[in-house]
Every structure is written in C-alpha cells, then in structure tokens.
Amino acid sequence: MRDFGLFYTGGSILESDGISAITFGVIRAKDEGDFADEHISDLKNLSRHMHRALKVRQTIESRDAGFALVKSVSDRAPYSIFVLDEHLKVIEGNSEAREMLEDSDGVSLNQGRLWLSDAMARQRLEAIAKLGRHVHTAEDSNLPASFAVNRPSGAPPLWVSWTPAVDTSSPMTAILKGVARPAVILFITDARREWRISHEALVRHFELTDREADLVSGLVRGETLEQICDLLMITQNTAKTHLKRAFQKTATARQADLVRYVISAHLLRMPED
C-alpha cells in the first residue's frame, strides 16, 4: 500500500511465464484511513482468483490456436474428414467433407446427422459410432476398419476408414456446455476426386517455371503427356524438355516418381490460381 497524500492505493501485477498480463488496483480516500487487514486479505484473495482466470484464458487461447492449426492442416487433405458424436451428428468437417455433402452422392446430412445411402454401410457406421469412445483403435473392435459405400449414381464406391475420437472433456462439462462429445473420426476417399495442386506452390517450392508447373499439375491429375500437350498447345518435344527439367529440379527420373514426390511434399489442397 502506498500513501499518495490524498489517497491510499493498492493492487497487483499478475505475471505468467514472465510476461506482465493483468494489472489492477484500488484507491481509498485519505480521510477514510488506510486499508485494514481484512481489505488487504481480500485483495490477496482477489489476486489469486485473477491469476487462476489468467491461466484459464491462456489455456483456452492455446487450445484455440491448436484447433486452428489442425483445421488448417485437415483442409489440405485430399479426402473428407468427419468428426461425429455417437448419434452420427456432424461436429466438424474439413473442406473436402463439405464438398462431398454438396455432391450428395452416397453421403448427405439428415437433420444434422451423417447419412449413408448404402444401407449396409449405414448399419456399420451406426455400430462404429456407438462403440467409438470405448476402444482405442479401430483394430480393437470386431468391426471392419474400412468399408465401401455404394452410391446411387453408380459411380465407384466411396471408401470409409475410421478411428475413435479422443475426447478430453468430462461428461458433466459436455452437458453443462451443451457440446456434443466426439465419438469417431471418419476418413472418406472418393476415387473420382482429382488431386488438386497449387501452381504457385510448385513454382515456389521446386523453382519450376510456369510451363513446367503446368505440366507437373497435369501429371498429378492423371493426364497423359499427349493430353497435356493438347491442353497447353505445345509439341511433345517441348513437353519432354519441360519434363526433363522438372525431373532435374525434383531429383526424380520417372513420371511416377515425380508425381509421388510432389504429392508427398504436401502441396495438395492449396488454392489454385
């Protein structure tokens, strides 16, 4: 407590990890007398509560940052990711999952719950969701770790694999907050989906020219060299020259190795120009 002539003042500076985070103070008029022992005790108690609040805030901010990072990474994945509760309610999904729902060919939403058009696949998913929180891995259950979903359009089936979701919240916390508890994470692949790759990332990451990047993008999409020539309106000799230089810059020697290397560089799902 400090005497400033006209008033007394008291307070605290709270720090966490050596960083000043919260400062608070109280003022008492001089004619009301100095702070009594019980006032000082109250200030100490308040400081402890505010320090706990600071820790909680930092924990929340740290988790939010972690969730944002996970979401950013999952949005780059070239397959759909769904986080479901035990009633198949969709808690979270990546950008591929949202596009799959828009296509509505085998996978859709029914009152907020994931719906598979294939009856057998739907029964398997219902069993998996109920079991999800009670096993550590898909292999721990007697249910298939992956299964197909036949589609109404007759297109090649979707393939679903799954893993139990890790839920760090208590049941009481979930009830109080009204938050659905995750039970299972689904990974759904669609053979019709094209691999997407960023032209800009190819140029920046491998120091390719624009034409070399165009050619590599075409190979990743599964196009033949002849198809790429037609698309870019270049001769096969020019295409082979671009391909040779792409081989040199990626330290590869075959088209299959080049495509595999580019995919493994995690440049997929970035925005295309």
**What is residue 181's predicted lDDT score, i.e. its pLDDT?**
79
**What is residue 104's predicted lDDT score, i.e. its pLDDT?**
93
DSSP string, 189-237: E-TTSPP-B-HHHHHHHH---HHHHHHHHHHHTT--HHHHHHHHT--HH
Per residue of the chain (273 residues), what is the pLDDT tens digit? 444 555 556 656 666 555 556 666 677 676 777 777 887 787 778 777 777 777 777 776 766 666 666 666 677 777 899 999 999 999 889 988 999 999 999 999 999 999 999 999 999 999 999 887 677 666 667 788 889 999 999 998 999 998 888 655 544 444 445 556 788 999 998 877 766 677 888 898 899 999 999 999 998 877 899 999 999 999 999 999 999 999 999 999 999 889 888 877 755 544 443
Give CA–CA dist 100/102, Å, rounded. Answer: 5
**What is residue 1's predicted lDDT score, i.e. its pLDDT?**
46
Q: How many CB atoms lie within 10 A of CB 172?
A: 8
- Sign of the Cα pseudo-torsion (121, 125, 131, 135, in order): positive
Helix axes 210-220 and 225-232, enclosed angle (nearest 10) = 130
**What is residue 63's predicted lDDT score, i.e. its pLDDT?**
63
**What is residue 227's predicted lDDT score, i.e. its pLDDT?**
93
DSSP string, 12-37: EEEEETTEEEEEEEEEEEGGG-SPPH
Find, among 265, 271, 191, 228, the residue nearest to 257 by Cα: 265
Give CA–CA dist 191/213, Å, rounded. Answer: 24
Report how far apart, in Å, the C-alpha atoms of 225 and of each of 48, 144, 145, 245, 250 are: 69, 39, 37, 15, 18
Give CA–CA dist 26/11, Å, rounded. Answer: 6
Q: What is the DSSP letter of 133?
A: G
Give CA–CA dist 118/66, Å, rounded. Answer: 35
- Is 10 exposed, middle or buried, given 0-12, 13-18 or 19+ CB atoms closer than 10 A? middle
Give CA–CA dist 89/91, Å, rounded. Answer: 6
**What is residue 73's predicted lDDT score, i.e. its pLDDT?**
67
How is residue 269 written in tokens? 């799902």
**What is residue 31's predicted lDDT score, i.e. its pLDDT?**
72
Phi, psi of 227 (to 5 degrees): -65, -40
Give CA–CA dist 114/88, Å, rounded. Answer: 6
**What is residue 175's predicted lDDT score, i.e. its pLDDT?**
46
